[in-house]
Amino acid sequence: MDHPLIVFGREDEECRALFVVSALYHCTEVLSNRPIRFVEVDDVAVEIAVEVLRFDTGLLVDVVPRGVPGQGAGYAGGALFAAVVLEDVTRIPVYLAERHNVPQLVLAQFPALHRMTGTVLEQLSAAQNPRAFARVLCERLG
C-alpha cells in the first residue's frame, strides 16, 4: 500500500475541500492503491462528498474530523498534502505537513497580489479547474 494522500478537508470562506473532492474523480487510476486521508473536516457536506467519492470510485478514503486530539498525527507518513484555498495559503496549517516532511500542493484560487510569483501564476489554472488540479496532483504523486 502506498503512502496516503493527505487532503485538507475544510470547506468555508477560505478553504475549498469540495473542489479537491471533484478533482479526485479525475485521478482514480493514480489513486487506486493509495489511501486518501481528509484531515480537519468540519462540514457535513464534505463528509457526504467523501462518502459519495468512496462509493462511486472504490477509492480508500477516510476522514479525520477537525478538533480530534492529536490532529497533527493525521499528516504522518503522507505522500503529499493537497489543499486549495481562496486567497492566502498561510491560513491553513501547512506547518503540520512540514513537521512530518510531507511535500505540499497548496494552491490559491485568487492569490493576494503580494503573493503573485511566477509559480503562483503558473498554477492559477490548476487552482480554478478541478481537472487541471487533478493533472498536477497526479504528476506530483507519480
Grid coordinates belonging to 122: 503558473
pLDDT of 116 > 70? The answer is no
Using alpha carbons, list the distances in angstroms from residue 139 to 23, 30, 69, 128.
13, 9, 33, 17
Q: What is the pLDDT of residue 50?
A: 98
Rounded CA-CA distance 18/46 in Å is 6
pLDDT of 18 > 80? The answer is yes
Rounded CA-CA distance 87/59 in Å is 30
Mean pLDDT, to the nearest integer, of 48-61?
98
What stretches of 58-129 show up as alpha helix (H) in DSSP? 94-99, 118-128
pTM of the entire predicted model: 0.92
Find, among 60, 70, 62, the residue nearest to 31 by Cα.
60
Of 58-62, 97-101, 131-135, the one with minimum mean pLDDT is 97-101
Architecture of domain 5-141: 3-Layer(aba) Sandwich (3.40)
Grid coordinates belonging to 63: 476522514
The full set of domain ranges for the chain reads: 5-141
- Compute the mean pLDDT over every residue in the chain, rounded to the nearest whole number: 91
